[in-house]
Amino acid sequence: MRNAAIRGVLLVATCGAPVVQAHHSFVATYDFGKPIRVSGRLTQANWVNPHSTFVLQATGEDGRVSTWTFEGGSPVTLSRRGFHKDDLHVGDVLTIDGYAARSGRRLVDAQRMTLPDGRVFSVGTPGHGASDSGTPLSRRGGATAP
């Protein structure tokens, strides 16, 4: 009986492992000192837990196209803010403000998204501190990419 209970606990712990590994600390991945704004064409939107993701193709001044991935709040968080799946369409040109990854990869913690019709949504993950600072990203001297 005791072995069955231990196996049950291990099974439950193992099943939850991928979710735990997928979630990460803001500070471990992103840098408050690297605010960034990227404008580009939406190629993919994933409304999944624990974070939604948005992928943009952005063209730099040199004409080179680069792919940027933005991590936002969960679908339910975005929905509560009035931002829904049908507000976006592949091909839309978006501007997203956020914080760049510490690693230098084209990965951004999204905070604010501007849609083609001018609507602006807060798309950040609540509670990690980045969106709680009170100072708009545009006033922090953030870089524009690419």
Asked if residue 17 is part of any domain, the answer here is: no
Taking the whole predicted model, whether its pTM rises above 0.75 is answered as: no
Asked if residue 8 is part of any domain, the answer here is: no
Q: Which domain holds residue 68?
A: 25-145
Give the confidence band of 81 by pLDDT, cuts at 50, 70, 90: very high
Q: Looking at residues 24-50, what average pLDDT do you find? A: 88
Q: Looking at residues 90-106, what average pLDDT do you find? A: 95
Asked if residue 122 is part of any domain, the answer here is: yes
Asked if residue 89 is part of any domain, the answer here is: yes
Q: Looking at residues 121-146, what average pLDDT do you find? A: 55
The count of domains in the chain is: 1
CB within 8 Å of 111: residues ≥ 6 apart = 97, 98, 99, 122, 123, 124, 130, 131, 137
Question: Which of 135, 109, 128, 142 lies closest to 35 in space, CA to CA?
Answer: 142
Q: Looking at residues 66-89, what average pLDDT do you find? A: 95
Q: Is 105:87 a contact under the CB 8 Å cutoff?
A: no
